[in-house]
């Protein structure tokens, strides 16, 4: 029975992917992609990865969808059929891609059995972090350097996006530019955020011991902020504002500072003293959640579109 369900899900995912590849209209493809992201979230629950399922649904489907839809609306006036790849080229590409997929499928089927796993190692080390969710332990303890560098990647992407503003607008505010704000949207933007913030805080808080965590919570916060900006209840802030920048770097800075403190307290970079590991990690997560929310929101908002005020 579950096999049937899995098969249906996989077939649906592949059908949507093919639809995205073939359909003419970009908006149609993007809407299909959002659906794809949500279904994929369901797929991740079937793989027993609830943390990933939440992240995929929130970021993969949700925020990426908003970003792409806004881009499509922006580009729509200039729709012109670009130089299409020749028929022969397409066939050749299709063969090459099919070969890659087939090679990959063979490799997936040839994975050794029993599968090599770090689950026992992660479980053994879990008590010394004070956490209950092993994924959070991997992200913030065992492989904390990955997470720290990935935060820098997020900030760098934002620097890159901001650098695309014309010189005289740089440092100004981005604009989400809805043509009209329909009544229901404004209503939603007033009602939903309190719930949304509550859910985000909950997600971040349970993340230490149950599925959830900074990314998921941060994304929900970012979504609430975007909703408020889209409904024009609050304008997007000027990108040069110090308060904005401090929120952006707050999480990574605290992470890095505690990392360096590890030299003094726990004998190494990004090492936590066992007795206070959990409060330190939760503190880092709290700051990261805010920073992620700000970064994601500003990434969607894009480069500055109004000149900075005096």
Partner 1 sequence: MTAAWLGPATLFGLCGAALVGIGLFVVITHPGLLRRIVGFNLLGAGIFLVFGAVARRGAGAGFEGDPVPQAMVITGIVVAFSATALAVALLQRLFDLTGRETLEAQPEHLPRSEP
Partner 2 sequence: MAPADAFTLLFVTAGAILFLAGTLGLLRFPDTLSRLHALSKADNLGLGLIVIGLLPQCDSVTAGLKLVCVWLLAQLSAATASQLIAGAVYRRKSGP
Partner 3 sequence: MTPLAAAPAHVATPGGFLLVLAVMLPVVAVLAMLALGPRQTARIALTTLATGLGVAIAIVVELLRTGAALTYVVGGWQPPLGLALRADGLSVAMLAMTALVVAAIGFFAHAQHGLEPTTRHGRAPTTFWILLMAVWSALNAIFVGEDLFNLYVALELLTFAAVPLVCLDGRAETVAAALRYLMFALLGSLLYLLGTALLYGSFGTLDIGLLSEASAEGPGFSVALALMIAGLLAKAALFPLHLWLPPAHAGAPAAASAVLSALVIKAPFFLILRLILDVAPPQAAAYAGQVLAILGAASILFCSVMALKQARLKLMIAYSTVAQIGYLFIVFPLAAGSETLPPWGTIAWTGGALQLVSHALAKAAMFLAAGVIAEAFGHDRISDLGGFGRALPISAAAFGLAGLSLMGIPPSGGFVAKCLLLTAAVIGGHPWLAATILAGGLLAGGYVFRVVDRALATPAIPLAPRKPIPRRLELAALVLALAAVLLGLVPLQPFGFLQLGRPDSLTVIAP
Binding-site member from 153, 166, 187, 233 for partner 2 (CB under 8 A): 187
Binding to partner 3 in span 133-152, by CB under 8 A: 141-146, 148-150, 152
Cα separation values, 290 from 9, 122, 154, 168, 210, Å? 34, 27, 13, 29, 20
Task: Find the part of the chain contacting partner 3 (CB under 8 A) among 4-12, 19-27, 99-107, 199-207.
Answer: 99-107
**Structure token pair of residue 167:** 């010189």
Q: How far is the CB of 68 from partner 1 (least distance, A)?
A: 7
Cα separation values, 82 from 28, 74, 247, 271, Å? 18, 17, 41, 53
43 forms part of the interface with partner 3 (CB under 8 A)? no
120 forms part of the interface with partner 3 (CB under 8 A)? yes
Binding to partner 1 in span 203-242, by CB under 8 A: 215
Binding-site member from 127, 128, 143, 194 for partner 1 (CB under 8 A): 143
Could you give the string, one character per residue 171-200, with x where binding to partner 3 holds by CB under 8 A and - elsewhere? x-----------------------------
Cα separation values, 156 from 65, 151, 153, 227, Å? 21, 9, 5, 24
- Give the residue from 85, 68, 57, 1 showing the smallest Cα distance to 29: 68
Dist. CA 215–CA 56, nearest whole Å: 10
Binding-site member from 35, 49, 206, 265 for partner 1 (CB under 8 A): 49
296 forms part of the interface with partner 3 (CB under 8 A)? no
Q: How far is the CB of 34 from partner 1 (least distance, A)?
A: 10
47 forms part of the interface with partner 3 (CB under 8 A)? no
Binding to partner 2 in span 195-214, by CB under 8 A: 195
198 forms part of the interface with partner 1 (CB under 8 A)? no
Sign of the dihedral through C-alpha 47, 50, 51, 55: positive
Q: How far is the CB of 179 from partner 3 (least distance, A)?
A: 26
185 forms part of the interface with partner 2 (CB under 8 A)? yes
Interface positions with partner 3 (CB under 8 A)? 100, 103-104, 106-108, 110-112, 114-118, 120-122, 124-125, 141-146, 148-150, 152-153, 155-157, 159-160, 162-167, 170-171, 240, 242, 245-246, 248-249, 252-253, 256, 259-260, 262-263, 266-272
Interface positions with partner 2 (CB under 8 A)? 182-185, 187-188, 191-192, 195
């Amino acid at each position: 029975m579950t096999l049937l369900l899995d098969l249906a899900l996989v077939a649906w995912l592949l059908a949507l992917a093919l639809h995205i590849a073939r359909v003419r209209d970009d908006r149609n493809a993007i809407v299909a992609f959002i659906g794809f992201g949500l279904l994929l979230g369901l797929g991740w629950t079937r793989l027993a990865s609830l943390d990933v399922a939440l992240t995929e649904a929130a970021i993969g489907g949700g925020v990426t969808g908003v970003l792409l839809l806004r881009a499509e609306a922006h580009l729509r006036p200039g729709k012109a059929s670009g130089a299409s790849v020749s028929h022969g080229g397409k066939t050749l590409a299709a063969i090459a891609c099919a070969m890659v997929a087939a090679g990959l499928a063979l490799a997936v089927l040839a994975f050794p059995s029993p599968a090599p796993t770090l689950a026992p190692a992660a479980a053994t080390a879990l008590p010394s972090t004070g956490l209950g969710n092993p994924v959070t332990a991997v992200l913030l303890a065992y492989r904390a350097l990955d997470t720290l560098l990935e935060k820098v990647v997020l900030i760098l992407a934002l620097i890159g996006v901001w650098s695309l503003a014309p010189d005289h607008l740089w440092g100004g505010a981005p604009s989400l530019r809805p043509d009209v704000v329909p009544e229901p949207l404004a209503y939603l933007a007033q009602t939903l955020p309190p719930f949304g913030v509550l859910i985000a805080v909950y997600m971040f808080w349970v993340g230490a011991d149950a599925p959830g965590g900074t990314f998921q919570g941060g994304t929900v916060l970012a979504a609430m902020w975007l909703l408020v900006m889209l409904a024009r209840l609050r304008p997007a802030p000027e990108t040069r504002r110090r308060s904005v920048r401090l929120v952006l770097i707050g999480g990574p800075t605290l992470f890095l500072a505690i990392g360096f403190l590890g030299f003094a307290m726990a004998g190494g970079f990004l090492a936590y003293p066992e007795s206070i590991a959990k409060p330190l990690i939760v503190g880092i997560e709290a700051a990261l959640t805010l920073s992620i929310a700000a970064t994601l929101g500003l990434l969607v908002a894009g480069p500055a579109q109004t000149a900075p005020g005096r």
